[in-house]
Structure 1
Amino acid sequence: MTADGGLSQVAIVLGTRPEIIKCAPLIKACDRRGVDCLLVHTGQHYSDDLDQVFFDQLELPAPDYNLEIGSRSHGEQTGRMLEGVEDVLDEHAPDVVLVQGDTNSVLAGALAAAKSNIPVGHVEAGLRSFDRDMPEEVNRVVTDHVSEYLFAPTEETRGYLERESVGGRIVVTGNTIVDSLYEYRELAAEKSDALAELGVEEGEFYLLTAHRAENVDDPDNFARLLEGVSRFARETDREVVYPIHPRARSRLDEFDLSVPEEIRAVEPLDFLDFLRAESAAALAFTDSGGVQEETCILGTPCVTLRYSTERPETAYVGANCLAGLDPDDVVEAGSTMLGKAADWDVPFGDGRAAERILDTLAAGTEPDAAEVPT
């Protein structure tokens, strides 16, 4: 802390590309306020080229540390991260450590800070799928319970935290993804050539993302997912664009699964190109929590290829439909959502989440309730 009690240094621990996107507003808010931001990249997403594109497009400084942990078992990956982050914190002793979301990087960063007696701020606190078979659910619950500051994106997530009697201070801030999308969506529309490069027209294609272990690591689940999406595309005479995660591509080869002809697998897209594709798709099929949020904000109807979601607000406002994996159910959900008018209210705030988070950390008090989105 500074002599007047203000923030001197904030450490941000991240490890995946979605975390880069959601932490970008926090990094920039620190810069605007003259707060030193210690950026620690665990290397959980281990493609340096792809990560660097995200930092470049978001105009972010290079990480101060890159631990280059890479892909390992959950236990080994988290343990190595914990050791590496702890070494950095021992050297710098920041005022607070911020983590965002529910990855192994988040869990390791939170545990390292808590064990070093450094306050933890959990951005996007309180999300719950109520499915403990998901590693992410375990990560987010544990992180919430060791955090001093719980930055909940919605009143719904605040309610979950209150019912669990977490010990930290709960503040509803909105979600930093709104900050990022509001800042970059016009730039994506102006600068991205993704639609031309993919050979698709706005509103005339579907977007698919599928990478979760429970879907792509199980050959039956992966096959059913692909069958449902391809059948809907065939019945509605549209193509599906699938930017395929390296993990999912390797599983296709391992299981000897072929991608149906209605689905075109392409290389992963950078941030601006993916944002443009999300905005332009007639419908998104996804197993990603982040994509559920983003499409809700961007006005693109979404079908979630899972049986539970930690973003129920997207379904409450009518932007998202939970389909599961049964092909018949996927087709039915697609029919429900296709052509739906984007007249829902965005439940994740007004694009000022990062400022509220920094206000809370600097003052140690909750922002005026009248300024907090509901």
Structure 2
Amino acid sequence: MKKIVTILGARPQFVKAAVLSRIISNHNDFEEVIVHTGQHYDANMSDIFFSEMEIPKPTYNLAINGLGHGAMTGQMLQKIEEVLIAEKPDAVVVFGDTNSTLAGALAAKKLHIKVIHIEAGLRSFNMKMPEEINRILTDRISDLLLCPTDSAIDNLVNEGFENMPSKIIKSGDIMKDAVEYYSQFSQEKSTIISDLNLKKNEFVLATIHRQENTDDLVNLNSIFAGLETIGKEKTVVLPLHPRTKAILKSNNLNFNIKVIDPVGYFDMLELLKNCNLVITDSGGLQKEAFFNKKHCIIAREETEWIELVTNGFAKMVGSDAVKMVKAFIAFQDSTANFKMDLYGANVGENMYKEILKIL
């Protein structure tokens, strides 16, 4: 039987992999071996996803975390290479734009193993972002580029990928499948709305974790000042990334915001379903907001999901507190049509069929 190795390391990758793993299991045309690099090592950021989403337990857990970019990527490259030599897969699947993504793609390509990049073609056009470097390099050495949007296809075409030995496919966004599937279970499995005593449409869901925001105290203070102002109108609920929490603590920064520990996917879905809108610097959460018919305020200067902005579902405000508050006020009167088809349907099945073709 043919075999693929799936490389995972961060929360969004666990969610996307859950969809594909279930489809692989249902069809049983090839074997999947899951490698968890350990990049997200907090139990609430990692372990809980495998248990509650019924993702097969990783065959390998490399436990690589808490390091700088160079050391982390280098150790992952070494350990993943060892796994690939032992497993001898026909292809390696990588998701998104993390250090785990790049390390998995590099290890596979140097061993002449086919590379499948899910969420290919995305660009922020900001080379200061580690994620931008990871996604560009991963795309360049991938054999199958599974693109979520037309703009992702356009980016690859503009970079000359049509003249390269790789296959470009518009597959749609696999996160859409995850939201649709797991929404069936989140209401019965999650009690977070009642636990936090929240009321529907009366709170704002926020997440802040990107280095350009957390490592710059001017940006960080401005963002949290905006959240605190909005918090006077609607409760702001902030599941706080461990790294952001440490930075706030080390700088003695305190804000009047409802801070909670990181949550599992079912809890996050219920927060999304019931919130007024989303404020985030995450890429994935921008789309999850759209899938749950919520507007999104993006605390960045650019987005890979530009179609959300051009169609009026999201606004980019950077770290500007004033712009953030203005966007919040403007969205209170919005009547956007969230039925617009931006990200496809039956995405996991589409991806499965394309993967099967190249094995």
Q: TM-score range by the shorter chain?
A: over 0.9
RMSD: 1.3
Q: Do the aligned residues in 2 keep the contact of 1:321 with 1:337 (CA within 8 Å)? A: no
Q: Which letter maps to 1:257?
A: L
Matched, 1:244 2:240: yes
CA distance in 1, matches of 2:47, 2:31: 21
- TM-superposed deviation, 1:306: 0.6
Counterpart of 1:349 in 2: which secondary structure? coil
- TM-superposed deviation, 1:217: 1.4
Q: Deviations over 1:57-76 (max 9, x none)?
A: 11111000000001210000
Counterpart of 1:68 in 2: which secondary structure? coil
- TM-superposed deviation, 1:179: 0.9
2:313 counterpart residue number: 319
Q: Do the aligned residues in 2 keep the contact of 1:101 with 1:123 (CA within 8 Å)? A: yes
Among residues 111, 114, 133, which one is paired with 2:109 in the alignment? 114
CA distance in 2, matches of 1:346, 1:199: 34
Q: Deviations over 1:233-264 (max 9, x none)?
A: 32xx21100010110000001122112x2x11
Name stretches of at least 5 consecutive residues in structure 2 with no aligned partner.
Answer: none
Q: Deviations over 1:12-44 (max 9, x none)?
A: 001011110011111111111212101000000
2:146 counterpart residue number: 151
Identity of aligned residues (%): 36
Matched, 1:343 2:337: yes
Matched, 1:198 2:171: no
Q: Do the aligned residues in 1 keep the contact of 2:20 with 2:348 (CA within 8 Å)? A: yes
CA distance in 2, matches of 1:295, 1:339: 17
Matched, 1:302 2:296: yes
- TM-superposed deviation, 1:49: 5.5
2:179 counterpart residue number: 181
CA distance in 2, matches of 1:49, 1:302: 24
CA distance in 2, matches of 1:361, 1:238: 45
Counterpart of 1:321 in 2: which secondary structure? strand
2:230 counterpart residue number: 232
CA distance in 2, matches of 1:232, 1:198: 18
- TM-superposed deviation, 1:225: 0.3
Q: Which letter maps to 2:207?
A: T
TM-score of the aligned structures, taking structure 1 as reference length:
0.92
**Further displaced range: 326-335 or 107-116:** 326-335
- TM-superposed deviation, 1:332: 1.2
CA distance in 1, matches of 2:355, 2:192: 39
Q: Do the aligned residues in 2 keep the contact of 1:81 with 1:105 (CA within 8 Å)? A: yes
1:135 counterpart residue number: 130
Q: Do the aligned residues in 2 keep the contact of 1:303 with 1:337 (CA within 8 Å)? A: no
Matched, 1:64 2:62: no
Q: Which letter maps to 1:209?
A: T
CA distance in 2, matches of 1:204, 1:339: 15
- TM-superposed deviation, 1:342: 4.7
2:42 counterpart residue number: 47
- TM-superposed deviation, 1:52: 2.1
Residue 270 and residue 342 in structure 1: after superposition, are their counterparts in 2 closer, same or farther (change >3 A)?
A: farther
Q: Which letter maps to 2:246?
A: S
Name stretches of at least 5 consecutive residues in structure 1 with no aligned partner.
Answer: 3-7, 366-374
How many residue pairs match? The answer is 354
